[in-house]
Amino acid sequence: MRVISVNPVLDLELRQRSRTMRSMLVITIYLLFLIGVMWLAYQASTFNTGFTNNPLESLTTKAGRTTFEWLLVTQLAILMLVVPAISAGVISGERDRQTLIPLQVTLLGPVQIFFGKVAAAVSFTLLLLVSSAPLLVVPFLLGGVTLVEILATLGVLLFLGLITSVIGVSCSAVFRRTQVAALVAFASVFALCVGSLVLFGATAAIDGMRGTDSAYPRVPPMWFNPITPLASVGGDLGNSSFIQVDAPLSLIDRGFTSLELGGDVFIDQTGRAFDQRTGEEIEIDRDLIPLWLKSMLTLSALASFMAWIGIRKLRLPQQVLSL
């Protein structure tokens, strides 16, 4: 029974969070915002076909694909804002309430305390994703999206929620004040989202001034960016069953593929690659390790390092008693 029992820290966090009106309010606002984004994306994608004689022409794979990708981008942006706010104060808040030391002298070790807090934050992320899953049925019914893609992208979003939770809890363990921990957590997420993009652009500028063969850098600086695995999995380049559209994830996925092929490659709406200098068609030969896996491994290594630092800051004030 002890093996299958729930982590006491996780059990307490879930009970406290489920009894507050704030959680229900966050979920309600979250769903209403996603519904608004979905409606705007659908209206924008069907604007050019809204005046046709046949109303059914607006229900195209383009509308489904565009709506699907904008929903994913919006969910990712919300998670990058909500998860650090939730996780950054879970341990520093215990210090403020003078409840961390009594928690540390229990039979729970620092690893159990740390990952109990992480699991509580991830559970709320899972609740957000499950509550928004019915909205993804709309683009699925419109067409252009498969069930496998929906499940895969939800899995990527859950993974990114886990990485962000580890970063937030680690900052909460390192810094004593909740305000400082939250600020550093948001700064860390901002560095992953924007800093990697700035580093990527700076590398491109340096390569251009040096006169290297390729005018663009390779993709590795973007492996730290949360949008990379989502675009690689949710983009439409690998899905030849549907017509490709100029949706955000699809554009990013095609851009990454162009950079991996050398930078002087153009990928059209049908997914075919052409050399911009000669105009000849190029066969897309992806690496053995897909881009989404490279990015997820990089982010996992970063989260493991952050977790190690956070656990070290949760050393027990005395030896843990054993039965």
Query: What confidence tens digit (pLDDT) does each residue in 33-59 have?
Result: 999 999 998 888 776 554 444 444 445
* pLDDT tens, position by position, 281-304: 666 655 567 888 889 999 999 999
- Burial (CB count within 10 angstroms: exposed 0-12, middle 13-18, buried 19+), residue 32: exposed
Q: What is the pLDDT of residue 234?
A: 82
275 has which bridge partners? Answer: 265
Q: What is the pLDDT of residues 109-159, one digit of tens each?
A: 788 888 888 988 898 899 899 999 999 988 888 877 888 889 999 999 999
pLDDT of residue 322: 46
Write out the two tokens for 22: 């704030």
Q: Quick one: which of 72, 228, 225, 74 has its CA closest to 153? A: 72
pLDDT tens column, 230-239? 988 887 654 5
Q: How confident is the model at residue 268 (pLDDT cuts 50, 70, 90)?
A: low
Is 80 exceeded by the pLDDT of residue 205?
Answer: no
In one-letter notation, the amino acid at residue 59 is L
Q: What pLDDT sits at residue 35?
A: 94
CA angle 68, 73, 79 (to 5 degrees): 125
Q: What is the pLDDT of residue 33?
A: 94
Strand partners, 273: 267, 282
Residues forming a β-bridge with 281: 274
Per DSSP, helices labelled H in the chain are 8-18, 21-45, 61-87, 92-96, 100-104, 110-132, 137-142, 147-174, 178-190, 196-210, 227-234, 248-260, 291-312
Nearest-angstrom CA–CA distance, 27 and 128? 7
Using alpha carbons, select from 239, 310, 298 the residue that is nearest to residue 65: 239
DSSP states of 224-286: G-THHHHHHHHSSTT-TTS-----HHHHHHHHHHHHHTTS-EEE-TTS-EEETTT--EE----
